[in-house]
């Protein structure tokens, strides 16, 4: 079994290589048969390979960013959507490259047909590889070791991926190290959840010694340490936590990114925003925009802009529910299409928000969260964002503490590349119903649960 596991990455690599080679062959055919004959000044061999190479790079970049190469890791639906979006994005960008090469507008039909063929192939190929992958590598048999409380929510989440994980047993660390070590040897992996520091360290060191795969639910301090700088001034290792959010140069380039993308977004979406504004005004004659105080960097309060999707009276008097009766017919449409937040592009242009960052939560909600989960205030080390790490990797029901951990992970690992990746992934999650911004009754219940269990949620 261990020998087979050593070939996991090789299988994944070969499967992805075949996919990229197929896409390269498809585009090569389209280029030589349809677009190259239209050129007045013909390319030499290097020119042809340059155009084809650009398409391959685009396909690789978009597929990598959207997670399409993780065939043995993500769910099948995620892989399909990642490949489909990557193929479409690559074709769109390549079309403009072809137009520049030919120096004339050309038909999109060949690229459309090519994209359809590539998407169909990606679905069939992914299904074949995943079936082989699951036969060679069945779900890992796992032991969960927890602290004071059984982690029912975590177990439920892990059990939702039966294709990868098989939780066979969960026990408290209080049964003693001898029993835990004996049990750990019987499983392929161990999950450590909310353990006291001393117990966690002991079990982790034992698992390391015995080469037992270990999964750990991180505390916020773990996330901070994971992004720390190594200091090698002498023979004792030191980790440096700067704890200052983004540096001056990071803020500068992030601001340029925000200005460029927000301007492009405003220009492209202005016809859509105009139509939405007219529809809202015609429906009930009320204001087009909805304004609400939200927190951004350093706990500064600003008025976030959204298209008004609810009735005028008592629109901001209480938390929005999932199927809120106050939502107007126009509001249902713009919410379903995820265009109600387009006016926040103006917040970004003004510098009140960023394109990527922790979502700006309602001031009233944040104040309640901080009373129960003080770490929630750590999210304001950077500007609030239109999209963010917690929005991409979280769900509608993500608890406040989990949201903090995801946002801290973004802050401590920030880079322009990460921003670009999250922007692309945001396009992907727009089609998922469980991915949305806001607070619902589930989160309110989760907040009460965290209040009761706060002693196990320590930094």
pLDDT of residue 163: 87
pLDDT of residue 450: 52
Average pLDDT over residues 407-420: 94
Average pLDDT over residues 164-178: 94
Write out the DSSP string of 199-259: HHHHHHHHHHHTT-EEEEPPPHHHHHHHTPEEE-SSSS-EEE---SSS-HHHHHHHHHHHH
Average pLDDT over residues 290-294: 91
Average pLDDT over residues 401-406: 91
What sign results for the dihedral spanned by CA atoms 382, 410, 194, 78? positive
pLDDT of residue 243: 86
pLDDT level of residue 146 (50, 70, 90 thresholds): very high
Write out the DSSP string of 48-107: HHHHHHHHHHHHHHHHHHTTTT-TTTS-HHHHHHHHHHHHHHHHHHHHHHHHHHHTS---
Residues 6+ apart with CB under 8 A from 8: 72, 137
pLDDT surpasses 60 at 256? yes
pLDDT of residue 314: 56
pLDDT level of residue 73 (50, 70, 90 thresholds): confident
Average pLDDT over residues 329-334: 90
The answer to whether 130 and 71 have CB atoms below 8 angstroms apart is yes
pLDDT level of residue 323 (50, 70, 90 thresholds): low
pLDDT of residue 441: 45
Which position has the higher pLDDT, 459 or 8?
8
Average pLDDT over residues 4-17: 82
From the number of C-beta atoms within 10 Å of its C-beta (0-12, 13-18, 19+), residue 159 rates as exposed
Average pLDDT over residues 319-343: 82
For residue 404, which of 386, 378, 426 has the smallest C-alpha distance? 378
* Fold classified for 140-217: Rossmann fold (3.40.50)
Domain boundaries defined on the chain:
2-136, 140-217, 248-456
State the DSSP code for 38: G
- Pairing outcome for strands 289-295 and 301-307: antiparallel
Residue 332 dihedral angles phi and psi, to the nearest 5°: -60, -40
Residue 295 dihedral angles phi and psi, to the nearest 5°: -90, 145
What sign results for the dihedral spanned by CA atoms 116, 118, 124, 130? negative
pLDDT in tens, 199-255: 999 999 999 999 999 999 999 999 999 888 888 888 888 989 888 889 999 999 999
pLDDT surpasses 50 at 36? yes
Supply 137's token pair. 């590598």
pLDDT surpasses 80 at 354? yes
How far apart are alpha carbons 237 and 21 in whole angstroms?
A: 45
pLDDT of residue 15: 92
pLDDT surpasses 90 at 40? no
pLDDT of residue 102: 86
Using DSSP's 3-state secondary structure scheme, residue 191 falls into: strand
What does pLDDT average to over the chain?
Answer: 87
């Amino acid at each position: 079994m261990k020998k087979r596991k050593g070939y996991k990455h090789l299988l994944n690599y070969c499967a992805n290589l075949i996919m990229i080679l197929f896409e390269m062959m498809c585009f090569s055919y389209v280029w030589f048969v349809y677009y190259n004959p239209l050129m007045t000044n013909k390319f030499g061999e290097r020119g042809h390979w340059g155009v084809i190479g650009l398409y391959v790079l685009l396909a690789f970049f978009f597929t990598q960013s959207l997670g399409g190469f993780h065939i043995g890791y993500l769910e099948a639906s995620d892989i399909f959507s990642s490949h489909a979006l990557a193929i479409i994005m690559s074709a769109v960008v390549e079309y403009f490259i072809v137009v520049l090469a030919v120096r004339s507008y050309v038909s999109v039909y060949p690229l459309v047909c090519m994209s359809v063929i590539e998407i169909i192939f990606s679905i069939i190929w992914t299904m074949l590889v995943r079936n082989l992958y699951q036969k060679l590598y069945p779900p890992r048999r796992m032991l969960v070791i927890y602290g004071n409380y059984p982690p029912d929510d975590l177990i439920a989440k892990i059990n939702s991926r039966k294709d990868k994980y098989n939780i066979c047993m969960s026990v408290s660390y209080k049964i003693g190290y001898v029993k835990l070590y004996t049990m750990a040897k019987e499983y392929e992996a161990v999950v450590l959840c909310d353990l006291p520091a001393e117990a966690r360290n002991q079990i982790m060191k034992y698992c390391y010694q015995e080469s037992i795969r270990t999964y750990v639910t991180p505390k916020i301090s773990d996330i901070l340490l994971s992004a720390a700088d190594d200091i090698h001034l002498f023979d004792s290792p030191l980790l440096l936590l700067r704890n200052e959010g983004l540096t001056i140069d990071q803020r500068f380039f992030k601001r340029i990114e925000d200005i460029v993308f927000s301007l492009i977004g405003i220009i492209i979406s202005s016809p859509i925003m105009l139509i939405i504004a007219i529809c809202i005004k015609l429906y009930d004659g009320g204001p087009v925009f909805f304004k609400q105080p939200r927190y951004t960097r350093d706990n500064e309060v600003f008025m976030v802009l959204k298209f008004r999707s609810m009735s005028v009276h008592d629109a901001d008097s209480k938390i929005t529910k999932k199927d809120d009766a106050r939502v107007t017919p126009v509001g249902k449409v713009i919410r379903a299409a995820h265009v109600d937040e387009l006016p926040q592009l103006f917040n970004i242009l003004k510098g009140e928000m960023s394109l990527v960052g922790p979502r700006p939560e309602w001031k009233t909600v944040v104040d309640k969260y901080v009373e129960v989960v003080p770490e929630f205030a750590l999210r304001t080390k950077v500007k609030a964002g239109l999209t963010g790490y917690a929005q991409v990797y979280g769900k509608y029901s993500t608890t406040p503490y989990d949201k903090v951990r995801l946002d801290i992970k973004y802050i401590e690992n920030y880079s322009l590349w990460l921003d670009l990746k999250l922007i692309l992934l945001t396009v992907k999650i727009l089609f998922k119903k469980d991915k949305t911004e806001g607070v619902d009754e589930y989160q309110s219940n989760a907040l009460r649960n965290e209040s009761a269990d706060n002693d196990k949620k320590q930094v």
